[in-house]
């Protein structure tokens, strides 16, 4: 069974822009790949270590996947694991919690 929430790692500036615009259209890697990358709770630390090593001020947004419905697809990625990908913009109302990681 897939979890009902997943996590998006954002830089401080990406979060500021997300709050202002009320929608997140993706980081450069998301835009290049055509979807917004998310990680499950179990995948989060690996994602941070691989893509955000040494970066402070990260914002970890917990996203309610149920609200996004059919825009979420579970696809095989790093290490053969299934990762949640959003094939739409991410509305801020789908963010259910936020943590800062320094």
CATH of residue 80: 3.20.170.20
pTM, two decimals, is: 0.95
Position 27 scores a pLDDT of: 96
d(CA 43, CA 45): 6
Among 41, 19, 15, which Cα is nearest to 27's?
A: 15
Scan for tokens 């996947």, then name that residue: 65
Q: pLDDT for 1-43, tens place per residue? A: 889 999 999 999 999 999 999 999 999 999 999 999 999 999 9
Q: pLDDT for 68-86, tens place per residue? A: 999 999 999 988 999 999 9
For 19, the domain range is 5-101
d(CA 38, CA 62): 9
How many separate domains does the chain show? 1
């Amino acid at each position: 069974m897939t979890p009902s929430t997943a996590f998006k790692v954002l830089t401080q500036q990406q979060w500021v822009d997300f709050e202002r615009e009320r929608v997140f259209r993706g980081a450069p890697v998301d835009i290049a790949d055509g979807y917004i990358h998310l990680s499950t709770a179990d995948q989060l630390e690996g994602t941070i270590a691989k893509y955000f090593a040494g970066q402070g001020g990260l914002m970890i947004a917990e996203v309610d996947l149920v609200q996004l419905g059919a825009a979420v697809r579970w696809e095989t990625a790093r290490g053969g694991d299934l990762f949640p990908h959003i094939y739409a913009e991410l509305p801020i109302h789908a963010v259910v919690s936020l943590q800062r990681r320094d």
